[in-house]
Structure 1
Amino acid sequence: MIDFFMSLLRPIQHVVAWIMVRFHELFTALGMDADGGPTWALSIIGLVIVIRIVLIPLFVKQIKAMRGMQVIQPEMRKIQQKYKGKTDPASRQAMQQEMMALYRESGTNPMASCLPLLLQSPIFLALFYTLNGIKDGNGIGALTDQLAAQARDATLFGAPLSATFWGDKSDPATAILTIAMIVLMSASQFITQKQLMAKNTSSAMDESNPFAQQQKMMLYLLPVIFAISGVHFPIGVLLYWLTTNLWSMGQQFYVIRRMPSPGSLAEKELEARRARKAARRGTPLSLSKDAPAAGGDAAPAADGSSNGQPVRRSGQRQQPRRNDRNRRTRPGTPPASGGRTR
């Protein structure tokens, strides 16, 4: 079973190794030391950037799926209350069928929110096994044995990239760097989840909501997972993990600031920023999609209704205009209807 799993990861390992080697060649061409730890560390960071750019479409789907799940939470609670206390197989099957029908009608997919993480896991495992192979001087694909030996001996702040906390406890540089990276990983994950809960959660969701409870659990659980598992990973893997966490934090900050969830605190802050910006330009912006522009009324149409055009508020009276007022009559052209001839 393990051999079969490794055979599935091997093509991904070849891709990971190829990307790392290409970045290593790029930084070496820019004058960096080919044997240096910073060169290989930047190669791993470049690998993260490539992977996260590829995953952006999946991240967009994840955001849409999460917002779709928030929208249908009230309907889901109604279905759950309907079958509350009913443990017979028929009732459970009926509840599942109604849930699936709700997902189809709303166009949501609960698995879509986990898809980017699931697709990134094989890449993470491929990098883990690739760096473990580097520790023994074993290359793969474009990462030859000679390059693997370079990466194995490369150090970052005095700690080898292939070293682990438990494997090199006697090395203070490895221990200090590992602990520092684990703390940064946990902090970045906590900040990302905290800002998601504080600003990008709909005000209609209370603490009893299952989705809100899940977010709260992830807020404290994921940093603990990083702290426990991080001591077993090579520094190169921790660097990959830290970089992708920082990317996620920045990406989440951008989404919350520019594309907040409906009804959230972030949406109110976005509307307030737009209103202030419009006010500085002298074109007040409505804080609501349906209300007229702030500071101005809508111009009445012929039937007395508003047609969305701003009203001129100056004290000068508007003179009525006639279509034929300034029209010049050419020789041989009959006058306009209702006009007078001289």
Structure 2
Amino acid sequence: MLDFIGTILYPIRWVVEAILVFWHWVLVSVGMSSTSGLTWVLAIVLLTIIVRICLIPIFVRQIKNQRRMMEVAPQLKKIQDKYKGKKDQFSREAMSRETMALYKETGTNPLSSCLPLLIQMPVFFSLYTVLHNAQTGKVGIGLLNKALSHSFANASLFGAPLHETFTHSDAIQVKLIAGAMIILMTASQFYTQLQLTSKNMSPETKASPMFRQQRMLLYVLPLVFLFSGLNFPLGVMFYWLTSNFWTMGQQYMVIRNSPTPGSDAALAREARLAKKHQEREARGKNNPITSGPGLTSLTEVAVTEAEAPKRVTTQRVQPVGKNRSKKQGR
């Protein structure tokens, strides 16, 4: 089983090592120490940013699907209420068919919200494997040669080796840094779920069973980070913490600029737009170029020019000879 997973992760590990070594080379080229723990930490952070940039299209699809799921939540509740208390096989199958038909009709997928997390997991485990192999003196499978692997294995930040974990280290530096990072990981995950459930859900969604599930995730996911972070190497925790901060900022921008209709965030956005519109109108009225004393506005100039009488041009009358005049008279 482990060999099968290793075979699947092999190309991902190769890419992870290549990106990590590339950023390490860039940082060393600008003057940083090749053996410094800070250099490797920054390389991990830049690796995380590259991964998250690649996941932006999937994140956009996730946001759109979450919005559709929130919109169909009242319809899902009606289906659930229709078969509430019915536990026979026929009713369960009918409820499943109607639910799947609703998903198909609205183009929603309840599993797509987990897609970015699932895609990140191979990268996460690949980085974990790279750190573990470096710790045990194994050479990487790609560009992480023996010298770089040895440098990565012995790199430390403020005296804390990057391959150490909170539970398997007696160094006070490791416990302080790991403890602070676990708190930040837990808090960032909690805030990310909180801004989703409190600001970006309509009143209809908050009255549906889906909202209860989201509220449950609000408390469950931070606990997962709290307990699993105790066994994460510091290098892997830097990756996950950077990813959490990216998710928090990215979701904040989406909720601010494209909130769910009817949610508190949508009402706040409408208030901001109305305020900006009023400010623009006030600036237009007080602008000395267009409405100052003694000056004529551009609109008034245009109206004046349009209403000004146009010059009438008449054709000059040619003189007519006597013979020609007589012919015209006849």
- Sort the TM-score into its range (normalised by shorter chain): 0.7 to 0.9
Cα displacement (A) at 1:161: 0.6
Aligned to 2:233: 234
Cα displacement (A) at 1:31: 0.1
Q: 1:198 and 2:173 equivalent?
A: no
Aligned to 1:249: 248
Runs of 4+ in 1 over 4 A off after TM superposition: none
Aligned counterparts of 2:15 and 2:29: Cα–Cα separation in 1: 21
Aligned to 1:271: 270
SS in 1 for 2:34: coil
Aligned to 1:23: 23
Aligned to 1:70: 70
Asked which structure has the greater RCO (Cα within 8 Å, sep 6+), the reply is 2
Aligned to 1:309: none
TM-score, normalised to structure 1, is 0.82
Q: Structure 1 residues 329 and 129, CA, compared in 2 at 3 Å: closer, same or farther?
A: same
SS in 2 for 1:87: coil
Cα displacement (A) at 1:140: 2.4
Aligned counterparts of 2:146 and 2:7: Cα–Cα separation in 1: 20
The structure where helix makes up a greater share of residues is: 2
Give the gaps of 5 or more residues in structure 1.
285-317, 333-342
Give the gaps of 5 or more residues in structure 2.
284-302, 317-330
Map 1:1-342 → 2, pairs under 5 A: 1-138=1-138, 139-168=140-169, 170-206=170-206, 208-282=207-281, 326=310, 328=312, 331=315
CA contact (8 A) 2:256 2:269 kept: yes
RMSD (Å), alpha carbons: 2.0
Aligned counterparts of 1:4 and 1:191: Cα–Cα separation in 2: 37
Aligned counterparts of 1:102 and 1:329: Cα–Cα separation in 2: 73
Indicate the percent of aligned positions where both proteins have the same amino acid.
47
Please tell me the residue identity of whatever aligns with 2:208: N
Aligned to 1:297: none
Aligned counterparts of 2:188 and 2:246: Cα–Cα separation in 1: 10
Aligned counterparts of 1:111 and 1:22: Cα–Cα separation in 2: 34
Cα displacement (A) at 1:90: 2.1
Please tell me the residue identity of whatever aligns with 2:175: A
Cα displacement (A) at 1:88: 2.1
Q: Structure 1 residues 330 and 22, CA, compared in 2 at 3 Å: closer, same or farther?
A: farther
Cα distance per residue 1:107-129 (max 9 Å; x no partner): 11112211111111111111111
Aligned counterparts of 1:21 and 1:74: Cα–Cα separation in 2: 50
Q: Structure 1 residues 331 and 243, CA, compared in 2 at 3 Å: closer, same or farther?
A: same
CA contact (8 A) 1:65 1:113 kept: yes
Aligned counterparts of 1:147 and 1:217: Cα–Cα separation in 2: 43
Aligned counterparts of 2:112 and 2:226: Cα–Cα separation in 1: 27
Cα displacement (A) at 1:329: 5.5
Aligned counterparts of 1:330 and 1:14: Cα–Cα separation in 2: 87
Q: Structure 1 residues 54 and 330, CA, compared in 2 at 3 Å: closer, same or farther?
A: farther
Aligned counterparts of 1:328 and 1:162: Cα–Cα separation in 2: 92
TM-score, normalised to structure 2, is 0.85
Cα displacement (A) at 1:60: 0.3
Cα distance per residue 1:118-143 (max 9 Å; x no partner): 11111111111111111112222111
Aligned counterparts of 2:66 and 2:282: Cα–Cα separation in 1: 34
The size of the alignment, in residue pairs, is: 295
Cα displacement (A) at 1:86: 1.9
CA contact (8 A) 1:130 1:140 kept: no
